Amino acid sequence: MIELAGIEKRFGDNVVLKGIDVTIAEGSVTALVGPSGGGKSTLLRCINLLEVPERGRLVIGTESITFEPGRRPTSENVQKLRRQTGMVFQNFQLFPHQTAIQNVMEGLVTVLKWPKDKARLRAMELLEKVGMAEKAEAWPSTLSGGQQQRVAIARALAPSPRVLLCDEPTSALDPELSEEVVDVLSRLAQEGTTMVMATHDLRLASRVAGQVLFLDGGTIAESGAPSAIFGAPQKERTKRFIASLGLSQTV
């Protein structure tokens, strides 16, 4: 389970998150949607503490941190929380000097101190899961964007995190390549992988998520099932946002 209670994040005088309260069940998929600047990517980054909130409480499984103004959590506590998460970034962020399998192995070997043979077996298992086993020895520069993102997903899953966080995982891809990534994330969801994703891709959110949070102005303006948020939103702000995406984004 993931719980965020009273999460506030500010950059200078700009309050980006205003007292966010949400509970995410284990094995569920939650999509964060909303306009640019609404707070969805910041909220995602607060879950793995790439951004540290000023106020509130974060719980992931058995680990928790309470945030107070003027007090930063210790690096030990941050690492305990961060080890519960795996992160998939918009622009893949693979190491260009390492092959696909070396990218997946890297954290296991350098951070978790696994033996290379054990790490290689785990990496091959995950590359198989995301349909990239035949590209294990390929360099990132030889892979398409969709292939690179699938390797990045395998890398994020390598240490068996409690939750997979995805920050706009399809936004850097054209529609055909993004379909590869949507398929992989759909399979992971069916297997019970807990996921939280910030996305503008309503196709991804509708196919994969069980819960959608619409963020606007640093608050959760509306929440519900994808069919409710995308098909029959209750709030005028949500209606305007869905309408602004146009017919090409309909789900």
pLDDT digits (tens, 9 = 90+) for 151-198: 999 999 999 999 999 999 988 788 778 888 999 999 999 999 999 999
Question: What's the structural domain count of the chain?
Answer: 2
Structure tokens at 62: 């058995």
Mark whether 107 and 128 lie in a shared domain. Answer: yes
Is 54 inside any structural domain?
yes
| Range scoring the smallest mean pLDDT among 56-60, 65-69, 74-78, 172-176 | 172-176
CATH number at residue 232: 3.40.50.300
Is 66 inside any structural domain?
yes
Mark whether 152 and 166 lie in a shared domain. Answer: no
Q: What confidence category does residue 246 fall into, taking pLDDT thresholds of 50, 70 and 90?
A: low
Mark whether 154 and 177 lie in a shared domain. Answer: no
Longest dimension (CA), the chain: 55
| Range scoring the smallest mean pLDDT among 71-80, 106-115, 171-180, 185-194 | 171-180
Residue where a domain stops, chosen among 160, 185, 200: 160
Give the chain's end-to-end CA distance (angstroms, integer).
Answer: 28
Is 89 inside any structural domain?
no
pLDDT at 251 over 70: no
Residue where a domain stops, chosen among 160, 186, 208: 160
Q: Is 149 helix (H, G, I), strand (E, B) or coil?
A: helix
Is 106 inside any structural domain?
yes
pLDDT at 5 over 90: yes
What pLDDT score was predicted for residue 248?
Answer: 38
Provide φ and ψ at 31, rounded to 5°: -105, 130
Mark whether 80 and 169 lie in a shared domain. Answer: yes
Structure tokens at 203: 């196709």
Mark whether 68 and 118 lie in a shared domain. Answer: no
Helix (H) or strand (E) holding 81: helix 75-82
Compute the distance between CA of residue 251 and CA of residue 16 in angstroms, rounded to an integer.
29
Mark whether 136 and 117 lie in a shared domain. Answer: yes
Mark whether 188 and 144 lie in a shared domain. Answer: no
Residue where a domain stops, chosen among 127, 145, 160: 160
Compute the distance between CA of residue 67 and CA of residue 104 in angstroms, rounded to an integer.
32
Provide φ and ψ at 107, rounded to 5°: -65, -35
**Residue 188 CB partners (closer than 8 Å, separation 6+):** 153, 157, 164, 195
Is 166 inside any structural domain?
yes
Mark whether 200 and 234 lie in a shared domain. Answer: yes
Mark whether 12 and 55 lie in a shared domain. Answer: yes
Mark whether 234 and 124 lie in a shared domain. Answer: no
Mean pLDDT over all residues of the chain?
92
Please state the pTM of the whole predicted model.
0.91
Report the percentage of the chain scoring pLDDT > 90. Answer: 79
pLDDT at 201 over 90: no
Is 122 inside any structural domain?
yes
> How many Cβ atoms from other residues are within 10 Å of residue 71's Cβ?
9
Q: What confidence category does residue 209 fall into, taking pLDDT thresholds of 50, 70 and 90?
A: very high
pLDDT tens digit sequence for 117-143: 999 999 999 999 999 999 999 999 999
Compute the distance between CA of residue 71 and CA of residue 73 in angstroms, rounded to an integer.
7
Asked whether the beta carbons of 199 and 226 are under 8 A apart, the reply is no
Is 44 inside any structural domain?
yes
Domain that holds residue 142: 94-160
Mark whether 10 and 131 lie in a shared domain. Answer: no
Mark whether 62 and 174 lie in a shared domain. Answer: yes
